[in-house]
Structure 1
Amino acid sequence: MTTLSSPPTPGTGPSPAFTGRSRLILVVLCAAQFMVALDFSVLNVALPALGSDLGLGPSALQWAVTAFALPSGGFLLLSGRLGDLYGRRKLFLAGLALFGAASLLAALAWDPASFLTGRALQGLGAAAVVPTGMSLLTTTFPEGPQRERALGISGTLLSLGFTIGMVLGGVMTDTLGWRSTMGMLAFFTLIVLPLAPGLLPESRTTERPRLDVPGAVTVTGGLLSLIYALSTAAERGFGGTDVLVSLVVGVALLVAFVIVESRSPSPLVSLPMLKRRTVALGNLGGLVTFSMMSVVVFVLTLYLQKTLELSGFLTGLIFGAQGVVSVFAGSVVPRVIGRFGARRTLVLSLAGQGVFVAALLGIGAESGALLAAVAVSLASMCHLGAIISYGVTVTSGVPDEEQGLATGLVTTTQQVGITIGIPLLGVLATTGDSLYGGVRTVLALDAAIVLAAAAVLALGLRRSR
């Protein structure tokens, strides 16, 4: 097993300069990731119009989101490993084609069933594109400054995709209708897909072990059950029978998965990899930064629109400032990683995110939009630093033949993190007597969790050197 590298030393390592071909490869891979990130948020503002057009009632609207979240999160780990075994380029192209066709189906949907089918197929395509795209990036760009810079650009576009999707979804729905949000994704695919085959190199493991079917069934079933339970709880709470049953089934299947993997001669997930401090703690950092930032965006949206009574447009502008900050952070973070190492950068980024979320406690019941805009932008800058540095931390020192598994873990952590934050904390904002008081309580808990995670990672990653 390849040993973990030590943090980079200033002035060492290969030059971060890219060749013309590597730039084009990076453009294709980042464009695909950006497109999937858009899909996570672009439809949110369009849900009321979509429901009226297709006849989806308020209780059924959550499925417009859940139908995508289930396969996109549940199949990430399996897709990453399938790419390792049978070809990352093949699976990436197949996922991209499926995503584009499914987006077209969703745009042309004639009833709820056809729309939800399109959304589910979109999620399945995204589950293939995201881990294979990231593993193609980490195997194309060597460990060190080049990979850090490539991951910095990818992380910036990932963050921009979420932010732009929130703003773009509202503008397109108001001007062109909700179908344009799905049609845009199909059109985007038509641009990216023809460029990919001639640029992307094929990569996979040199050995061809048999696929661990029991491991694949248990981990995929467990993730599907867990994501369904948490997505549904975000809308209805944890009291529903289906939510509780899904939670129990999900946990039981994931426990069974660990048992199966410990006995399999060719496991889907190498347990020694999961025991690496950098993999385990790096993914913990990723889980915390994604879940807690999703909570911040959720409760601040409620605060700005319900407490301060700002319009959706002004709320979008406040969150749009995150995009500007993300571009700046994406260019700076790789240099910080080169100077201090990915592990220290991850700890510092989490600590910064926690501090700036705590600063949001200064918002008032009648004013606070400016403080919210500044603090959430700075928290987002630190959030992006955590995204990039945790990806570098988890994939550093991992052999190329296991990069699909490592990036599958990274992207699964992203999806689960985005899914669990609002059900666990966000709903507390709306259950008390005062929305303003509930928002402040959630922000305080959020900041405390992020700062506690930073402390745990500081201690654990220091011991792993």
Structure 2
Amino acid sequence: MSVLDGTAVQNDNPALEPRMSKRQRAILILLLSSTFLLAADFSLLTVAIPVIGDGLGFAVGDLQWISTAFAITSAGFTLLFGRIADLYGRRRMFLAGLALLALSSLLGAAANEPLVLIIARVLQGVATAMATPAALALLTTSFPEGPLRAKALGVNGAMISAGFTVGAVAGGLLTDLLSWRWAFLINVPIAVAIIVLTPRLLPESRLAGRAKMDVPGAVTVSTGLIALVYGVSRAGEEGWGDALVLVLLAAAAVLLTVFYRIELRAESPLASVRILNKPSVLWGNFGGLIAITMQTAVIFLATLYLQKVNGLSAMDTGLAFSGLGIAAFVGGVVAPKVVGRFGNRLGLVIGLTLQVIGPIGLALTASADSSILLVLVLLTVASFGHLTAVVSYMITSTSGLPNEEQGLATGLATMTQQVGLAVGIPVMSAIATTRIHAMEATHSATDSVLSGLRLAFTLDAGVVVLGGLLILVFLRSRKA
């Protein structure tokens, strides 16, 4: 069975299916461990943020920076470090990122004032931007395009979701039972173990020959993405009419436009026009952005719903969401089979179709006395579909490219992931908050929250449906 630009070719004889060698299995386990660690690091501190704020004396309005500082740097520098890894060594960049993650985690654990902790989170974001695209490029170049790579990407996608889920639950347990500082410290021994094992399993991987670094492209795309993520994050707190928000979003639009113009003329572009204009790369990343942005927002909104409306504690909410991680893991394992059977385009559309069941169901059924079990069933189905979509976009956006461009393709795919994680929550939070404030004068607090959440769920579902339709129309399958 093989997949190329949306066309599925099925082998009738299962014995002909290629099998992973022992070395490939070991490489996969190693890289999946890093994927799990980097994904968990994003969510480990989420449930601990109020406790950290109390312990270090954060002002309430500054608590968002514990997450935003990480999101801005991880999203802003991913494409840059993906290209540097191509030029100077993917294994080297991977190891450097993990080393920085370990050191910054130690700094965060030792923090005794807000500034030190924010610096640690910035460095953790940089570490993630260094290690994540390098790890994904090492994975795709370790497995030939086809069933083996699809399987590896599928399990990789499952580990991303498992890492987010386990990170949230583990962060709550560590904070309640020990201290929030352990949410930082737990990264250190895992990162060290991966650093020790990597040189034994993975050879260095880089582009052949010499290529120049596209400095103007790197500066404009990084500053543009930082402005975009910061602007959207600030909008969630201050509203979309805030002057600084408007300046940041306008600057992001200008910088990203300039970046595209630079890439049209650059001798060694950071993101070649040929790759950006390839339908599988363009629409694969578009689908990934829709899937990740909207699902991240749904989980956040569902957390508010369960805690603010249904009265669950933070720990109960985290434990309730553990089922979502299981469904996501299954989705990641099954997704390559879906793609193999139906092709990249339909695999992505099927995933988005299942994902939209969550926000649509919650928009229709959310109430103060609705069944929590129903909520979890809807979110579980959506989580399965979400991972199907994520794996499909990973396969789609890295298919049909030579090895020397895998770092760039995986950098784009990883940047999509980081931007989606960074912007989904503030956008939908701002929408819900605006509606809640408008309702508070004439309705109860519970009814106001419900109204804001229903609106956000409805818009979330609409974006997913529209995204699926656009992909169905514009991501054409190449005939076998």
Q: 1:16 to 1:389 in 2, by over 3 A?
A: farther
What is the CA–CA distance in structure 2 between the aligned matches of 1:36 and 1:175, rounded to whole Å?
A: 23
What is the CA–CA distance in structure 2 between the aligned matches of 1:376 and 1:393, rounded to whole Å?
A: 25
- Secondary structure at the counterpart of residue 62 of structure 2: coil
Query: Following TM superposition, by how much is the alpha carbon of 1:314 offset from its aligned partner in structure 2, in angstroms?
Result: 2.4
Superimposed CA distance per residue, residues 15-45 of structure 1 (whole angstroms, 9 cap, x where no aligned partner): 3421111111111111111111111111011
Percent of aligned pairs with the same residue?
45
Please point out which of 274, 280, 285 is paired with 1:272.
274
Please point out which of 369, 388, 393 is paired with 2:391.
388
Amino acid at match of 1:437: S
Please point out which of 449, 454, 468 is paired with 1:440.
454
Query: Following TM superposition, by how much is the alpha carbon of 1:239 offset from its aligned partner in structure 2, in angstroms?
Result: 3.3
User: 5 Å matches for 1:443-454?
Assistant: 443-454=457-468
Contact map agreement 2:285 2:393 (CA 8 A) in 1 = yes
User: 5 Å matches for 1:159-170?
Assistant: 159-170=161-172
Contact map agreement 2:5 2:477 (CA 8 A) in 1 = no
| CA RMSD, 1 decimal | 1.7
Superimposed CA distance per residue, residues 124-164 of structure 1 (whole angstroms, 9 cap, x where no aligned partner): 11101100100110111111110011011110110011111
Aligned residues: 463
Query: Following TM superposition, by how much is the alpha carbon of 1:4 offset from its aligned partner in structure 2, in angstroms?
Result: 5.7
Match of 1:378 in 2: 381
- Secondary structure at the counterpart of residue 186 of structure 2: helix
- Secondary structure at the counterpart of residue 462 of structure 1: coil
Query: Following TM superposition, by how much is the alpha carbon of 1:353 offset from its aligned partner in structure 2, in angstroms?
Result: 1.2
Contact map agreement 1:8 1:144 (CA 8 A) in 2 = no
What is the CA–CA distance in structure 2 between the aligned matches of 1:65 and 1:231, rounded to whole Å?
A: 10
Contact map agreement 1:93 1:129 (CA 8 A) in 2 = yes
What is the CA–CA distance in structure 1 between the aligned matches of 2:18 and 2:332, rounded to whole Å?
A: 14
Please point out which of 162, 178, 199 is paired with 2:180.
178
Query: Following TM superposition, by how much is the alpha carbon of 1:62 offset from its aligned partner in structure 2, in angstroms?
Result: 1.4
User: 5 Å matches for 1:1-12?
Assistant: 5=5, 7-11=7-11
Superimposed CA distance per residue, residues 394-442 of structure 1 (whole angstroms, 9 cap, x where no aligned partner): 0000111011110111011111111222222232223332111221111
- Secondary structure at the counterpart of residue 8 of structure 1: strand
Where structure 2 has 5 or more consecutive residues not aligned to the other structure, the ranges are 440-447
Contact map agreement 1:104 1:183 (CA 8 A) in 2 = yes
Match of 2:473 in 1: 459
What is the CA–CA distance in structure 2 between the aligned matches of 1:386 and 1:283, rounded to whole Å?
A: 11
Contact map agreement 1:363 1:371 (CA 8 A) in 2 = no
Contact map agreement 1:429 1:438 (CA 8 A) in 2 = yes
Match of 1:422 in 2: 425
Match of 1:36 in 2: 38
Contact map agreement 1:358 1:444 (CA 8 A) in 2 = yes
What is the CA–CA distance in structure 2 between the aligned matches of 1:26 and 1:446, rounded to whole Å?
A: 34
Q: 1:176 to 1:22 in 2, by over 3 A?
A: same
What is the CA–CA distance in structure 1 between the aligned matches of 2:52 and 2:6, rounded to whole Å?
A: 51
Match of 1:292 in 2: 294
Query: Following TM superposition, by how much is the alpha carbon of 1:303 offset from its aligned partner in structure 2, in angstroms?
Result: 0.9
Match of 2:97 in 1: 95
Alignment partner of 1:409 is 2:409: no
Query: Following TM superposition, by how much is the alpha carbon of 1:263 offset from its aligned partner in structure 2, in angstroms?
Result: 1.4
What is the CA–CA distance in structure 2 between the aligned matches of 1:304 and 1:166, rounded to whole Å?
A: 15
Match of 1:111 in 2: 113
Match of 2:223 in 1: 221
| Of 45-54 and 288-297, the range deviating more from structure 2 | 45-54
What is the CA–CA distance in structure 2 between the aligned matches of 1:136 and 1:163, rounded to whole Å?
A: 24
Match of 1:49 in 2: 51
* TM-score, with length taken from structure 1: 0.96
What is the CA–CA distance in structure 2 between the aligned matches of 1:16 and 1:170, rounded to whole Å?
A: 42
Match of 2:86 in 1: 84
Contact map agreement 1:355 1:451 (CA 8 A) in 2 = no
| Of 135-144 and 15-24, the range deviating more from structure 2 | 15-24
What is the CA–CA distance in structure 1 between the aligned matches of 2:236 and 2:171, rounded to whole Å?
A: 21
What is the CA–CA distance in structure 2 between the aligned matches of 1:209 and 1:58, rounded to whole Å?
A: 47
Query: Following TM superposition, by how much is the alpha carbon of 1:5 offset from its aligned partner in structure 2, in angstroms?
Result: 4.8
Contact map agreement 1:4 1:398 (CA 8 A) in 2 = no
* TM-score, with length taken from structure 2: 0.93
Query: Following TM superposition, by how much is the alpha carbon of 1:204 offset from its aligned partner in structure 2, in angstroms?
Result: 1.4
